[in-house]
Amino acid sequence: MRYLVTGGAGFVGSHVVLALLDAGHEVVVLDNLSTGHREAVPENVLFHQIDLMDYEATHSVVAQGKWDGVLHFAALSLVGESIRTPFYYLRQNYLTALNLIQACAETGVKKLVFSSTAALFGGPERSEPISEVALIAPGSPYGESKFLIERVLHWADSIYGLRSASLRYFNAAGADAEGRAGEDHRPETHLIPLTIDASLGRRPSLQLFGTDYPTPDGSCVRDYVHVTDLADAHIRALEQIETRSVAYNIGNGRGYSNLEIIQSVERVSGRKVPWEAAPRRQGDPAILVADSTTLQKETGWKPKFGTLDQIVETAFRWREAHPNGYGD
């Protein structure tokens, strides 16, 4: 099979590229490298440095098919930043996806897997764990941008027959178990790598945003899913969209608090994590936990990295071995 991966130089995208290659498929990567890393793309993979805001360039690459599927990861992804710059986030995420989807529809692509988000479910009335039928009420422009794209995909299916899978994953974490890829955001904003860096003495004390939430220990609770398990879900989703479009929530189904993340990093690293309390961040719900029952029943997916320590251990090994990220 032959697949086009946008954002394939980023965290989740690069792990999906590895999974596709491991399965024997041909992969082409499109990325503007605004947040991704060229070093994250294997040397034997054809790479196009293109911005999806450039429709003509995007169409030119998509027209090089025949593609057995397109997987779309390229997007801005910081909730707090989206609240500070809402129009920028809405414009960038929506228009880049719109350009890609239009190019796919016009060139006859039949399958697209979309990297969506649990940030769709920002409403305070939601139940836990969150299923696909939960009320969609984005709590940030970032989440809103992803919902808008899901609606575009609905019409691309209805009018052009472009089947899609919207994978609404919760907190991606960890690193490739073989050390081929890991998490390297600049600046880093994700809790697990920040906590690891604090344990290694590479940064000042970790700031814990909010310790007064209505949770058992007062800190936010999140569902962490290993990035390799996410990659597996994307490949399984491709097999589900021969005749229909789908949407799946992806997580371990178990929530871990921010304080539990600190404790896990301390167990894995054998080091203390210096941390201090900080005010809540706007747009952060107290609890986000996934109900992945539909994905598991329809695809047979099951996380292989089922515990927090397993996830943290792979992240720690990669982070420890790459003090400068992909710059090493």
- Catalytic center residues: 142
Contacts of 231 (CB under 8 A, 6+ apart): 12, 15, 16, 18, 19
Nearest by Cα to 152 from 101, 96, 77: 101
Nearest by Cα to 299 from 133, 154, 113, 72: 113
Q: Whole-angstrom Cα distance, residue 274 to residue 16?
A: 33
Give the pair of three-digit tokens for residue 95.
């228009």
Question: Which letter does DSSP use for residue 1 in this model?
Answer: -
**Contact (Cβ atoms closer than 8 angstroms) between residue 120 and residue 168:** yes
- For residue 279, the Cα-to-chain-centroid distance in whole angstroms is 25
Query: In Å, what is the CA distance from 42 to each residue of 2, 26, 75?
Result: 16, 12, 21
Burial of 214 (0-12, 13-18, 19+ CB in 10 A): exposed
Rg of the Cα atoms in the chain:
19
For helices 191-199 and 258-269, what crossing angle results, to 10°? 40
The helix (run of H) or strand (run of E) holding residue 164 is strand 163-169
Helix, strand and coil in the chain, % to nearest 5 = 40, 20, 40
Q: Whole-angstrom Cα distance, residue 197 to residue 103?
A: 41
